[in-house]
Chain A
């Protein structure tokens, strides 16, 4: 165990997450893992980690971290305006979507910016916490996995798999990530759409919903048009998947997320397609969601296209100095300086 970062301040809800815990849903263990799988993948790709490495998922406010290893390379993925504030440096702000190497004693404050509900901080070689049921993801409800099964607290010592990060040119993306905050969330109707009136299906697809501030890693509660059940709103419990849209007696939908329980007794009117789960996850309380129905075959096509797009984005990671305008760099520069710098 190699100490890498010490938690000076934990932020609102910072947990260790990876790709999730597969293979235990049949004994009631949720998948957990990063809510925004794309943000998680991109943060790891930037620092050169193999898929599966554990990183920090940050919700609400960012942590403040002190480097205790010789050096560590980190990358934040989240809002375009987010980044790391490094105390004592001339170029104190390193925007999200790029790597930076921090030396022992340096303190980085994670600033989230306002766009993304969840952000990801990856370190080169990944965070080292014990595997629990084959995963490093934190499941706070049952207090296992990740860092002692809980969100980070001040004073925690985070361990990694390397004490030092080799000096090399830092990297960034060729184009900034689009959070697609206005994109309709695509769903496939069912598995229990037959429990709802035709009007309810229409309301779901035509209406506009606001994500409630009471939303968390278990589920996003939505406020908007009520969805009428044909008769009963209880079913004999069956399985839940990430993106299941269940409608309890309140008639208001709840989209079940990474930490949702594995079974449930309310009918599920529709299911968010896998490609749009990250799109949904980055929208937090107060943001709007509209739904659009697609076929399962469409969902599978979109999933493959989305995978290709992400693969391309990762292939196109380039050294900071290479030619081409970095829109993201331009954006951050403007945020810091408050002026448009035409020389960038």
Chain B
């Protein structure tokens, strides 16, 4: 570990360098991680094989036959010094979601625990614009935040062994959608008809780290209509570029 200014460079053997900017889930830290990711992706560092942004650190995978950790560290630190703050173009997505209790097994319990009505929980959740901190856990699973303070709850005491795909979930300061059926300990407050991961598409994942997301509440009828369009590969959620 190398102490340097306000970040640390950690080692993952001869496989990767980890640039760590903090220990918390924090929008400012995330912006630094994503900013560095952009710089390194544009620089095309020799020997770097893959750059992975997470909440608070950037993992730079490398091929130890093509470069060394020490060389790469130097090159990256030099790039960091040269970089000014640049505004970045990011994508804002509008994702339909149905918050009806029929599609939201935990929304009534969540409403009771936070002292709001089901409609208020849905309105609060859909009324917030979220930042995609990172994608992980399973392909395409977006960790998004920050959830309005009124909706923050710890994870469920009894995690489910099977969460259906499309489930919209919340826990702590975060919200996410499960692209695949998987185990999960978050509260399920809706279902989205959108496909968040498609291995047959060029990028796989609908969302990327740094994207922004707003949810649009849809009724059961529209939900079913979108589901059918998704099955026919005739649906893509709306998105536009925004400067941050």
Residues of A in contact with B (beta carbons under 8 Å apart): 22-29, 132-133, 141-142, 144-145, 149, 187-188, 190-192, 194, 235-239, 241-244, 261-264, 268, 270-274, 296-297, 299-300, 303-304, 307
Contact = CB atoms under 8 A, between A and B. Distances in A.
B56 A239 contact: no
A188 B68 CA distance: 14
Contacts of B205: 24, 27-29
B57 interface: yes
A142 B199 contact: yes
A53 to B, nearest CB: 19
Nearest to B182: A141
A306 to B, nearest CB: 10
B193 interface: no
A261 B208 CA distance: 17
A145 B50 CA distance: 20
The number of chain B residues touching the other chain, given as a range, is 35 or more
Among the interface residues A243, A296, A307, which one has the most CB atoms of the partner chain B within 10 A?
Answer: A296
Contact of B199 (A132, A244, A297, A299): A132
Given A236-B56, A237-B54, A238-B56, A243 B15 contact: yes
B52 A239 contact: yes
Interface of B: 1, 10-16, 18, 20, 23-25, 37, 49-57, 59, 61, 64-65, 68-70, 134-141, 143, 180, 197, 199-200, 203-205, 207-209
A263 B64 contact: no
A244 B13 CA distance: 9
A133 B204 contact: yes
Among the interface residues A23, A187, A191, A300, which one has the most CB atoms of the partner chain B within 10 A?
Answer: A191
Contacts of A238: 18, 20, 54-57, 59
Given A27-B135, A271-B12, A274-B64, 7 more contacts: A22-B50, A191-B10, A243-B15, A296-B11, A296-B70, A297-B68, A300-B14
